[in-house]
Structure 1
């Protein structure tokens, strides 16, 4: 049986099982296993078991960076060791290779990270399941630890609008400043009156809680001020990938290749994580990939994402036509592979600045997609990258 839980880590001091039980019981925790007892400057480590994945994800979101006394805890969602052992026995060599860690976005992407892309983007591959999820960056930890996450949820009056953003599958979106902390966030205002609007808003919030990872835009708070639901997420200060594409075209070819490898690998990991949670994004495009201050990429806008249940293997067509795979036009159905196809188009655009299937008008562009007629990548693109992208956007 798969056991889901939280890895709790702290850098110094002593935290008891009683304190952790008191903290996590309200979230549905069923057991606390103290890995070691800490004192002085030694690290502390505990594992908190939960009945369900959803309970663990919510608890991680609410408690990561929390202070117990004067001790700050770091919280990661992790599947229990028994399932990891089972996976290690059943995964093939390719999936094991694809599970390697990425280097940071500011360093050169190494050979292992390139292999992650190559082995994870075969359109008929199931991809890999990351062992650890719920990663939290240092900057996010600093923000979280500066706020008491058990205080009352902020109100609309706690924010001031800095500027309006455009795009997104639903709602009006703004950059806002949280007055008590001075930090910038993104606020999405979503209609929350009729049942259809409520379901759309609730579904997207549930998706964001489920899909929290290093490579996805994170949910911070939600609250209702009638007639709207307000969704507060982290702020990706460098905008979306469409904006960055223009900058990429000005870089020397070698530098552009390395930068695109980094973005490529990070979004592959985001998609692999989503698919392991049985979720199809359905709207992969440059406008839904966001760039952080440090240059790292985050996948966002889950308004059209769809959970695939045990009886289904596809979702109804949704999203942006120019990033549809041929089978979407033919069958009006979307699969996990559909996301991979769209990402192939995005990476082609990052390298060249043009859409691979672009024609004189929409109809001709769609016909190119259906028939697999696309432009060729320049000769300066490395062979391994070129082959990978061509496999992603080829008719299957």
Structure 2
């Protein structure tokens, strides 16, 4: 059951929804799935998220992955050319909105909180790199916050899974400048 729209991006709209069976509130990313580009992006995001989940489940250090949004499921409605990702709800919004709200109140992120954010983001990116995944679109809008303002990295539609022994030259397809840091530090 849809509750409300909580975000919109280039490739999809995110809604908060209540699962009928469990009554749990989740986030559902609804994406158009009718062009080849949209299918490729959605399929990539699903595959990367499945890889992350598989690796987390096999890991003896699952707590290392706490800063990556959890994929709970996915499905495709081919009749409507839509694909859906079911994810944990990060009710604190995104980092961009958090910063804007602080600015509206005449405040800013304190040094301690800033370092918590930076440490969590770097930890998430490092864990992805360790398992050969490049996020490719790291920006404040893709850094989600939980209710208690903990970081969760999201939106893997432009990510890349690296293959062992292969050299990489790539067209950069993420948000302008958003992936510069990530590519420089692999």
Rg larger in structure: 1
2:185 pairs with one of 329, 337, 341: 337
> Partner of 2:90 in structure 1?
236
Deviations 1:209-232 (A, max 9, x none): 223421111100112223222211
Q: Which has the higher contact order (CA 8 A, sep 6+)?
A: 2
**Corresponding residue pairs, total:** 171
> Partner of 1:197 in structure 2?
38
> Partner of 2:69 in structure 1?
217
In structure 2, the CA distance between the partners of 1:270 and 1:314, relative to structure 1 (3 Å rule), is farther
Partner SS for 1:242: helix
TM-score (norm 1): 0.39
Q: Mind listing any 5+ residue stretches in structure 1 that lack a counterpart?
A: 1-159, 327-333, 339-396
2:25 pairs with one of 184, 188, 192: 184
> Partner of 1:370 in structure 2?
none
TM-score (norm 2): 0.79
Structure 2 distance, partners of 1:287, 1:247, is 14
Partner SS for 1:165: strand
In structure 2, the CA distance between the partners of 1:275 and 1:169, relative to structure 1 (3 Å rule), is farther
Structure 2 distance, partners of 1:293, 1:208, is 22
In 2, are the aligned partners of 1:280 and 1:336 still within 8 Å (CA)? no
Matches within 5 A, 1:1-396: 160-193=1-34, 195-212=36-53, 213-226=65-78, 227-249=81-103, 256-309=110-163, 310-323=165-178, 325=180, 335-337=183-185
In structure 2, the CA distance between the partners of 1:311 and 1:324, relative to structure 1 (3 Å rule), is closer
In 2, are the aligned partners of 1:161 and 1:176 still within 8 Å (CA)? yes
Structure 1 distance, partners of 2:151, 2:39, is 29
In 2, are the aligned partners of 1:169 and 1:301 still within 8 Å (CA)? no
Structure 2 distance, partners of 1:314, 1:272, is 20
C-alpha displacement at 1:252, in angstroms? Answer: 7.3
| RMSD across aligned positions (CA) | 2.6
Structure 1 distance, partners of 2:102, 2:51, is 32
In 1, are the aligned partners of 2:44 and 2:158 still within 8 Å (CA)? no
In structure 2, the CA distance between the partners of 1:244 and 1:206, relative to structure 1 (3 Å rule), is same
C-alpha displacement at 1:167, in angstroms? Answer: 3.2
C-alpha displacement at 1:194, in angstroms? Answer: 5.2
